[in-house]
Amino acid sequence: ERDARRAAPLTPGRLADGTAVPLLANLGSADAAAGAVAAGAEGVGLFRTEFLFLEATSAPTVAEQQLEYGRLLQAFDGKKVVVRVLDAGADKPLAFLHDDTGHEDNPALGLRGIRALRAHEQILRDQLTALAAADAETNAELWVMAPMVATVEEAEYFTALARELGIRTPGVMIEVPSAALLADRMLQATDFASIGTNDLTQYTLAADRLLGSVAALQSPWNPAVLRLIAEVGAAGRGLGKPVGICGEAAADPLLAVVLVGLGATSLSMSSAAIADVRASLLRFDAAQAAAMADLALAAVGAAEAHSAVRAFAAGIA
């Protein structure tokens, strides 16, 4: 099986019936682009931009950022690249951003993501300006999304500002339960959604993703998480707008099929996970993926959802 995979490593992601499910890479710097291309990534589903800011004692300039985004976009000529604007907060403090806010007892619930950017709008303006400039010089298909969006008003704010600064395809991450519950309105306010299952699981289960003692609670197989994802998938289908997944859940080969059954239109993961997810998608058609999603949604907990889906998969040749 491994040999067969190696023989055709670059086929696009699809289900057994041919339904396309683009397999994209999560990247943390432009240096990682070559590895993603080699792994068969069809584009980038999450480009985290924190690395440009975290070590810096002053904000990176528009020109510095443009250079880095240009390198990324060049590596994915003709392909989709989803860049996430800065996701900083008290857990990932920036010397120049957080001087005036200081310590927070609950950084996961604090001034992070779009909230922090809004409080320091020039940083967001510069980043969007640099992205639009890099886009104009290259031929990738650039989409830009905001992290930690909790309200429709925030989605409207980001979408308007991004368009004003020349971003053609703005979108929002869905990683807060309030955003998932209002997914239809969120998607009406913007062009696409990408579900961050790491934070969505953390906030749905009220279990700190960095705390080992509550790690057992942090399963994206939990039907509560899956119901929220189903809400977003249904909204995307209803409005004809893309709904990607960019959290770790997309790297689990069986859960990836469930996510497609719930309405995900693309999956983004670490490059190393792409081969196994590609092989898993090929085992099931769209009706089977939907059936697996229904089984998981009907379960009472994460373990039950996982075993029901595993049993279904084992019953398929």
Binding-site residue set for phosphoenolpyruvate: 48, 84, 198-199, 209
Question: 229, 246, 269, 295: which one is catalytic?
Answer: 246
Q: Which residues have C-beta within 8 Å of that of residue 142, sequence separation ≥ 6?
A: 73, 81, 83, 131, 134, 135, 167, 168, 169
Indicate which of Mg ion, ligand PEP, none lies near residue 246 (CB less than 5 to 8 Å, by partner kind).
Answer: ligand PEP
Do 214 and 186 form a contact (C-beta atoms < 8 A)?
A: no
End-to-end CA distance of the chain: 15
CB of 209 to Mg ion, least distance (A): 9
Indicate which of ligand PEP, Mg ion, none lies near residue 197 (CB less than 5 to 8 Å, by partner kind).
Answer: ligand PEP
CB of 70 to ligand PEP, least distance (A): 23
Using CB under 5 A, list all residues that contact Mg ion: 175, 196, 199
Reference 243, options 221, 267, 225; nearest CA is: 267
Count, residues near ligand PEP per rule CB under 6 A? 10
Binding of ligand PEP at residue 252 (CB under 6 A)? no
Binding of ligand PEP at residue 45 (CB under 6 A)? no
Minimum CB distance to Mg ion smaller for 40 or for 196: 196
Query: Which residues from 191-220 bind ligand PEP, rule CB under 6 A?
Result: 196-199
Binding of ligand PEP at residue 175 (CB under 6 A)? yes
Minimum CB distance to Mg ion smaller for 135 or for 199: 199
CB of 31 to ligand PEP, least distance (A): 18
- The alpha carbon torsion through 81, 67, 124, 133 (nearest 10 deg) reads -70
Which pair of structure tokens corresponds to residue 144?
């830009």
Minimum CB distance to Mg ion smaller for 74 or for 198: 198
State the Cα–Cα distance between residues 290 and 274, nearest whole angstrom. Answer: 21
Q: How many CB atoms lie within 10 A of CB 91?
A: 13
Binding-site sequence positions: 48, 84, 175, 198-199, 209
State the Cα–Cα distance between residues 198 and 248, nearest whole angstrom. Answer: 6
State the Cα–Cα distance between residues 239 and 122, nearest whole angstrom. Answer: 32
State the Cα–Cα distance between residues 252 and 280, nearest whole angstrom. Answer: 9
Minimum CB distance to ligand PEP smaller for 84 or for 98: 84
Q: Is 246 a catalytic residue?
A: yes
Binding-site sequence positions for Mg(2+): 175, 199
Minimum CB distance to Mg ion smaller for 70 or for 196: 196
Question: Rounded to 5 degrees, what are φ and ψ at 291?
Answer: -65, -40
What residues are annotated to the active site?
246
Query: Interface residues with ligand PEP (CB under 6 A)?
Result: 46, 48, 87, 175, 196-199, 246-247
